[in-house]
Amino acid sequence: MISVKNISKRFGKFQALDDISFQCERGQCIALIGSNGSGKTTIIKTILGMVIPDKGIIEFEGKSIANDWTYRNDIGYMPQIGRYPENMTIGQVLDMISDIRKIPEKSLDQELYEAFRIGNLLNKKMGTLSGGTRQKVSACLAFMFNSKVLILDEPSAGLDPISSEILRDKILSEKKKNKLVIITSHILSELDDLVTNIIYVQDGNIRFHESIHALQRETGEEKLSRVITSMLRQEDAKQN
């Protein structure tokens, strides 16, 4: 569904991405894992067309995204930090984005809107919201339009534990609907039972990209955090 082919990106002298390639398909939940500054958000932003790569192409359903922006309507995106007009109310932001997307109200996915009780907060200005509430608004917007692809950058950051669970259940149910989910998270335990594939990013390169089952077989571990640390240790041992 999405093919990333030989993408490189420099910021000044800094090589943020260095010839990255991977593919992802419907029904997969891909976790982008790696330390801070390894390039995860830059990968996400090149797929979204928010960062233009110096080299390489990205295809969405077989077509290059470079000349046709309509593919963006098929992606629900939850940024790490949602930026909204601070003087607008939550209601105005939701109305504005619904108007842009031109999707009839009855086909909107209201599940998170209701679970997070956003209806009680519609008159609150974006500038007055706590980080957690802002994150809930971002989640509602990402899931509202029944997009084929969900790209979630640290979705649970700033959310209280119950809301994180609500969001995790929602991601699981979307994956079961054969959507493609691409997710970054620092909390590996919340990715257990959710992800199908791991892309481990290090210094702007992909160190490994494998299915979780293959990684579990190779390492003999079950839990994602142990699978990843064991995989890195095995690779280091091979190199030394």
By the rule CB under 6 A, 185 interacts with ligand ADP: no
User: How many residues bind to ligand ADP according to rule CB under 6 A?
Assistant: 10
Instruction: Give the phi and the psi of residue 178 in degrees, each rounded to 5.
Output: 70, 30
In the block, residue with structure tokens 């481990």: 200
Q: How many CA atoms lie within 13 A of 202 on its CB side?
A: 7
Tell me the two tokens of residue 76: 């629900």
Query: Per-residue string for binding with ligand ADP, 49-68, x by CB under 6 A?
Result: --------------------
185 vs 197, beta carbon nearer ligand ADP = 185
| Smallest separation, CB 40 to ligand ADP (Å) | 4
36 vs 239, beta carbon nearer ligand ADP = 36
By the rule CB under 6 A, 34 interacts with ligand ADP: yes
| Smallest separation, CB 214 to ligand ADP (Å) | 23
For residue 160, the Cα-to-chain-centroid distance in whole angstroms is 19
Task: With contacts defined by CB under 6 A, name the span among 32-40, 94-102, 122-130, 159-167 that binds ligand ADP.
Answer: 32-40
Q: According to CB under 6 A, which residues from 2 to 31 bind ligand ADP?
A: 11, 16
The length of the chain in residues reads 240
Beta strands in the chain (DSSP E): 2-11, 14-24, 29-33, 55-60, 63-64, 75-78, 149-153, 180-184, 197-202, 205-211
| Smallest separation, CB 152 to ligand ADP (Å) | 13
How many beta carbons lie within 10 A of that of residue 49, not counting itself? 15
Judged by CB under 6 A, the residue of 13, 36, 176, 239 near ligand ADP is 36
By the rule CB under 6 A, 38 interacts with ligand ADP: yes
> Whole-angstrom Cα distance, residue 161 to residue 146?
25
- Of 158, 114, 112, 113, the C-alpha closest to 132 is 158
32 vs 144, beta carbon nearer ligand ADP = 32
By the rule CB under 6 A, 42 interacts with ligand ADP: yes
Q: Please name the residues in contact with 158: beta carbons below 8 A apart, sequence gap of 6 or more.
A: 130, 131, 132, 134, 135
41 vs 197, beta carbon nearer ligand ADP = 41
| Alpha-carbon torsion, ordered 173, 176, 177, 179, to 10 deg | 100
By the rule CB under 6 A, 46 interacts with ligand ADP: no
| Smallest separation, CB 17 to ligand ADP (Å) | 8
| Smallest separation, CB 194 to ligand ADP (Å) | 19
By the rule CB under 6 A, 40 interacts with ligand ADP: yes
Where do contacts with ligand ADP occur on this chain (CB under 6 A)?
11, 16, 34, 36-42
